[in-house]
Amino acid sequence: MFKYLKKLEYPINIQKKDLNMAKCILTGLGGSAGELAAAMRYYIQSFSMPDERGKALLIDIATEELAHVEMISTMFKQLIKDATPEELKEYGLSDYYTEHGKGVYPINASGIPFDAKYIASTGNPVVDLAEDMAAEEKARASYESLIDLTDNKELINPLLFLRQREVVHYNRFKELYEDYKNEYNM
């Protein structure tokens, strides 16, 4: 079902270490509006869609969200490259380093680990799609906040790409939401 292309959806080449942004960028991975939550939410919800069109849309977007997990993880790794334990401690990443070294682990910027509670699924396609639109808006807002926190174009450009994909996903979910409300009187 899945085919892995060994290429990022958008090229990432961050040369400047930035431990503050590294800490913040983790929200895009393991936060409640992060890419991992989105991928799992949409994949699980796909099984409740009333037709193949809905199921295909949710699985397509879930798959793209996994590509975004890869992008966020790559950004994190590049932002902490060559960081010393002392630097990690200075930027509030000593707890993270203690548990995960310089590996990637899904947490939010406050250090709270990913939680399955982020995966909303009611079994009602219209309700789930409304949740999905809200999730995309939350993710868009998170990316805009991250962009506000940096002046590094090597980081801003992939964040702008991710922000734009949230807008596209929102619009695709909205189209399906409106169709289902009309077709199924939900």
Main-chain dihedrals φ then ψ at residue 90, nearest 5 degrees = -60, -35
Position 1 scores a pLDDT of 64
Cβ of 53: how many Cβ atoms within 10 Å?
Answer: 12
Give all domains of the chain, ordered by start, each with its CATH number: 19-184 (1.20.1260.10)
Position 186 scores a pLDDT of 64
Position 183 scores a pLDDT of 87
CB-CB contact of 17 with 75 (8 Å): no
What tokens does 143 get?
């990316």
Q: Where are the alpha helices (DSSP H) in 52-152?
A: 52-80, 85-90, 94-100, 125-148
Would you write out the chain's pLDDT as a tens digit for each of its 186 residues? 677 878 999 999 999 999 999 999 999 999 999 999 999 999 999 999 999 999 999 999 999 999 999 999 999 999 999 999 999 999 999 999 999 999 999 999 999 999 999 999 999 999 999 999 999 999 999 999 999 999 999 999 999 999 999 999 999 999 999 999 998 776
How far is residue 21 from each of residues 52, 83, 114, 153, 183, measured CA to CA in Å?
Answer: 40, 13, 19, 13, 45
Position 12 scores a pLDDT of 98
Cβ-based burial of 105 (10 A; exposed 0-12, middle 13-18, buried ≥19): middle
What tokens does 83 get?
């960081």
d(CA 160, CA 157): 5
d(CA 31, CA 114): 6
